[in-house]
Amino acid sequence: MTIAINKSSLVKFRARPPDKPQICGGSFTLIRYIRMLAIILAASLNASAQVSAMLPILDETEAGGGVKSLAPPTVAPAADAEAPTPLSPAIINIRVSVSRARDLAAATVIAQMQQAPGRAMTCPRLIPAQPTRPSNGNGHEKFRWGPALTQSFLFLGIQHGFAMTQSKTRRELDGPFFKDWFESVSNLGGWADGGRFFTNYISHPMGGALYGYIQIQNDPKGMKREFGRDHGYWMSRLKALGWSAVYSTQFELGPISQAAIGNVGLHTPHTGTGKRKLSYVDLVVTPTLGSAWLVTEDILDRYITRWVEGRTNNRVLIWAARVGLNPMRGGANLLRFKAPWHRDRY
């Protein structure tokens, strides 16, 4: 006979793949197996209690010649007697064999203990229930606004922290904030800002790609997309382009921007100070060439990094390929406190 037990008496566990055993110390392994056996014993006792409650009914059915169902016999209740409590469907409906579970656990422990001396024991890893993420009602997870904004402001703080190491930024901290900010933004115009080619056309697009990866790694619909012709990939990267454009505009013109904090654009070249003016080059180049940089990294990840992963088990080589060919993705990973070689596709 097999007996049903309550869900609260069970603990779900998943064994690690055989090619990646989890190595446990002796005492730690023993404690874990004792805990597992204690859980199974508690489940057995719970089932035994339920069997004890059913024994009178089973005795009655056997004395009456036996019946095919475990349903209690129909007895006319007394006038002053309360209605009998029906048996729980969980008891009658047989789902789990406790004896099989106990035998399986015992066989597992015995097999582990019979391993050759000096050989590390492997043990199953208990997997806690994972919290569910908010859904939009259609079975898809929502965009993670909180982490995305946190990572964006963290990188914004890093950028302005670096700017504070320059004397030209510290000199502009004095003076009326809003007046200087509005005057700086009003001087926006032209294309060339006097910056170097590397700064405008290499460094800023790299930043634009990193802004885009912040959006991608917080979008459940796009984080696992790989380069290809499918509509979902390009829609995901289009959203990343929009995020990059908003971030770039804020960094150049917003309330926590170079124009507001460093007064970039306040002193145009014709004033004689020699400070560069605020122009459109950064507003356009950062998100557009940044998205091109991002797609290029996706291509390299799809066709080269994947090729390396399929031909070696050397972790150092795989990590080097991921970081070397996808530096901006690696930077975005660091902003969420993950290893730069992390991939959401696994």
State pLDDT tens for residues 41-77. 766 666 556 655 655 554 555 455 544 444 555 555 5
Q: Would you say 212 and 240 are in contact if contact means Cβ atoms under 8 Å apart? A: yes
Q: How far apart are CA 235 and CA 263, in angstroms?
A: 36
Judgement on whether residues 309 and 192 belong to the same structural domain of the protein: yes
Token representation of residue 173: 């901290």
Neighbours of 109 (CB within 10 A): 18
Q: Is the pLDDT of residue 28 over 80?
A: no
The reported pLDDT for the residue numbered 13 is 42
The burial class, CB within 10 Å (0-12 / 13-18 / 19+), for 127 is: exposed
The reported pLDDT for the residue numbered 23 is 44
The reported pLDDT for the residue numbered 133 is 56
Judgement on whether residues 323 and 184 belong to the same structural domain of the protein: yes
Number of folded domains in the chain?
2
Judgement on whether residues 197 and 246 belong to the same structural domain of the protein: yes
Residue 294 inside a domain? The answer is: yes
- The per-residue pLDDT for range 327-340, each reduced to its tens digit, is 999 999 999 999 99
Label residues 31-57 b or e (16+ Cβ within 10 Å = b): ebbeebeebbeebbeebeebeeebeee
Judgement on whether residues 230 and 325 belong to the same structural domain of the protein: yes
Q: How far apart are CA 138 and CA 54, in angstroms?
A: 45
> Residues 91-110: what's their mean pLDDT?
54
Task: Tell whether the torsion through CA atoms of 30, 33, 37 and 43 is positive or negative.
Answer: positive
Residue 81 inside a domain? The answer is: no
- The per-residue pLDDT for range 275-330, each reduced to its tens digit, is 457 889 999 999 999 999 999 999 999 999 999 999 999 999 999 999 999 999 99
Domain span at residue 180 reads: 162-335
Judgement on whether residues 188 and 232 belong to the same structural domain of the protein: yes
Give CB contacts under 8 A, 24+ apart, made by 90-94.
90/4, 90/6, 91/3, 91/4, 91/50, 91/53, 91/54, 92/4, 93/4, 94/1, 94/2, 94/3, 94/4
- What SS3 class is residue 181? helix
Residues in a beta bridge with 126? 13
H-type alpha helices, 135-230: 145-163, 167-170, 177-186, 197-198, 204-216
Residue 62 inside a domain? The answer is: yes
Residue 77 inside a domain? The answer is: no
Q: Would you say 274 and 320 are in contact if contact means Cβ atoms under 8 Å apart? A: no
Q: Would you say 37 and 11 are in contact if contact means Cβ atoms under 8 Å apart? A: no
Q: How far is CA 178 from CA 174, 182, 230, in A?
A: 12, 6, 46
Judgement on whether residues 113 and 170 belong to the same structural domain of the protein: no
Q: How far apart are CA 222 and CA 144, in angstroms?
A: 12
Neighbours of 90 (CB within 10 A): 14
Residue 29 inside a domain? The answer is: yes
Task: Summarize the chain as % helix, strand, coil (round to 5).
Answer: 55, 0, 40
Q: Would you say 194 and 277 are in contact if contact means Cβ atoms under 8 Å apart? A: yes
Which of 21-25, 83-87, 139-143 is least confident? 21-25
The reported pLDDT for the residue numbered 127 is 47
- The per-residue pLDDT for range 209-229, each reduced to its tens digit, is 999 999 999 999 999 999 999
Judgement on whether residues 101 and 181 belong to the same structural domain of the protein: no
Judgement on whether residues 313 and 213 belong to the same structural domain of the protein: yes
Residue 78 inside a domain? The answer is: no
Neighbours of 247 (CB within 10 A): 24
Residue 138 inside a domain? The answer is: no
Judgement on whether residues 210 and 303 belong to the same structural domain of the protein: yes
Q: Would you say 229 and 197 are in contact if contact means Cβ atoms under 8 Å apart? A: no
The reported pLDDT for the residue numbered 137 is 44
Q: Would you say 250 and 256 are in contact if contact means Cβ atoms under 8 Å apart? A: yes
Judgement on whether residues 228 and 179 belong to the same structural domain of the protein: yes
Judgement on whether residues 94 and 194 belong to the same structural domain of the protein: no
Judgement on whether residues 118 and 168 belong to the same structural domain of the protein: no
